[in-house]
Structure 1
Amino acid sequence: MKQKILYVEDEPNLGKIVNDTLRLQGFEVVWEQDGALVMEHFKAFEPDVCVLDIMLPNINGYELCLKIRELQPQLPIIFLTAKVNTEDLVKGFEAGGTDYIRKPFSIEELIVRINNQLQLQQIHGGNNGPDQDIDEMTIGKYKYRPQRYELEAPSGIINLSSREGELLHMMAGKGSQIIERKELLLKIWGDDSFFNSRNLDVYIKKLRTYFSEDDNIEIQTLRGKGYLFLVR
């Protein structure tokens, strides 16, 4: 069965190129240019992934994302945006986006992002967190085996401590959604004291080092919010 993509883009030339390419890649696609008509398509089409431009006629991508989230809380939603400010990025994730691509982008990158979101959705089965029983997670060029706390990098195996493994599992399991600093502290350390907060900083730094062999993996700090674990 073909995976279904609801694609929303008001720029006709770009929209046609992306729409045609996704179809050639084997996806079933509905392409809409007017934000006001998107929800009608959404209910009838029941997509597996939504790809939303932010600047749209009548209803913008942020508002559409909020409407979609009311109906499908765990559906992958990828934002396409020319906006580069951190505030805009945070706004998109707070609206319910699970990934973003900055314009201009390559079609190859978009397809990788779509497939990554579909893979994460399959792994988590629509749950809010990672499946604790999964044997292996693919993260860019890496593979993580949570039951053994084993991270396979391009250069070899990295054996993680239990807390490093729990932290990675929680962050990677969010699927590019914001994970709050306090949530990490409470679930892994049991409280959000100053001492544990400093420990978290150390562990985040370690994870960044472990993933340094893949430039497409980024752990982004959002001040006052938490973190984004991004796989481009």
Structure 2
Amino acid sequence: MEHRILIVEDDADLGNLVRRYLEVKGFGVTLITDGRTAMQELAIGSYAIAVLDVMLPGADGFVLASQIRQAYPSLPFLFLTARRQQADVLKGLSLGADDYMLKPFDVDELVLRIANILRRSGDREKPSQHYVLGDYHFHPQELSLELNGQRRLLTEKESALLEMLCREPGRLLRRTFVLESLWGSADFFNGRSLDVFIGRLRKLLAGDPRLELEVVRGAGFILHTGA
């Protein structure tokens, strides 16, 4: 089945270059140049993933990401942008982005990152797995974390990371293993991204004091469930 990708990029030359390359790789691609039109397209089309620039005319890519997250919480998206300040990276990830990729970029790496996100998304079609973490109920295939009847939708990467921790409760999950499995490499930039996601999971699990997501500096992470 052909995966459809929505690219939101106001540089027509770059956008068309990426569009043509992704089409050669077997994807269906729609190129949009502004956020307002992108939301209109999402309302009528079915997409597997969105690729967003930050510097867009009118409302920027961060505003667009917030709108996507609210209207289509299960749609994965990544940023492809020249905005490389740490504050920008952290803001993009905090909005729920599954990845944040800097320009200039290697188009083959972009294809690989898209494929990795779509693979994790496809895992949701497998038989449903259910984890009980103290008072929480976690359904990774549904990207769902529930506490006292309140349901929170996770991003693809939040769900994948939490599931890795759930598989080995009370045991050290190696940092390099997480980075290579979910980000593709254990470089510094990906490491900072991982730290952001760990911080987000700690906040999500703060509703049950028996749970602790321990960071073992330089080594990895341990999920303590109090069981």
In structure 2, the residue matched to 1:100 is 100
Correspondence 1:125 to 2:141: yes
Match of 1:21 in 2: 21
Report how far residue 206 of structure 1 moved. Answer: 1.4
Describe the SS at the equivalent of 1:78. strand
Query: Sequence identity, in percent?
Result: 30
**8 Å contact from structure 2 (residues 174, 220) kept in 1:** no
Quote how far apart the aligned CAs of 1:21 are.
Answer: 0.5
Correspondence 1:46-195 to 2 at 5 A = 46-123=46-123, 124-128=140-144, 162-165=170-173, 178-180=197-199, 182-183=202-203, 190=210
The CA distance in 1 between the partners of 2:172 and 2:6, in whole Å, is: 37
Deviations 1:81-128 (A, max 9, x none): 111211111111222211110000011010011001111212243414
TM-score in terms of structure 1 length: 0.63
1:189–1:109: structure 2 CA closer, same or farther, 3 Å change rule? farther
Question: What's the secondary structure of 2:26's corresponding residue?
Answer: coil
Q: TM-score, normalised by structure 2?
A: 0.65
2:190 corresponds to which residue?
A: none
The yes-or-no answer on 1:43 pairing with 2:55 is no
Q: CA separation of 1:70/1:206 partners in 2, compared to 1, >3 Å: closer, same or farther?
A: same
Between the aligned partners of 2:210 and 2:174, the Cα distance in structure 1 is: 13
Structure 2 gap segments, 5+ residues each? 124-139, 146-159, 184-192, 222-227
- Give the deviation of 1:207 after TM superposition: 3.0
Paired with 1:69 and 1:145, the residues of 2 have a C-alpha distance of 24
Contact 2:54 2:81 in 1 (8 A): yes
From the superposition, tell whether residues 185 and 75 of structure 1 become closer, same or farther in structure 2 (CA, over 3 Å): closer
Measure how far apart 1:179 and its partner are: 3.1
Map of 2:150 onto structure 1: none
Aligned length: 177
1:173 & 1:105 partners in 2: Cα distance? 19
Q: Whole-Å Cα distance in 2 between the matches of residues 105 and 183 of structure 1?
A: 32
1:34 Cα deviation after fit? 2.1
Q: Which residue does 1:218 correspond to in 2? A: none
Q: Distance in 1 between matches of 2:142 and 2:211?
A: 28
2:218 paired residue number: 205
Opposite residue 83 of structure 1, the aligned amino acid is: R
CA distance in structure 2 between the partners assigned to 1:112 and 1:173 by the alignment:
12
**Does the 8 Å contact 2:52/2:78 carry over to 1?**
yes
Paired letter, 2:210: G
Q: 2: CA distance between counterparts of 1:187 and 1:169?
A: 28
The alignment partner of 2:18 has SS state of helix
C-alpha displacement of 1:26: 0.5
Distance 1:167 1:19, change over 3 A: closer
- CA gap of 1:167–1:128, structure 2 versus 1, over 3 A, is farther
* Structure-1 separation of matches of 2:197 and 2:3: 26
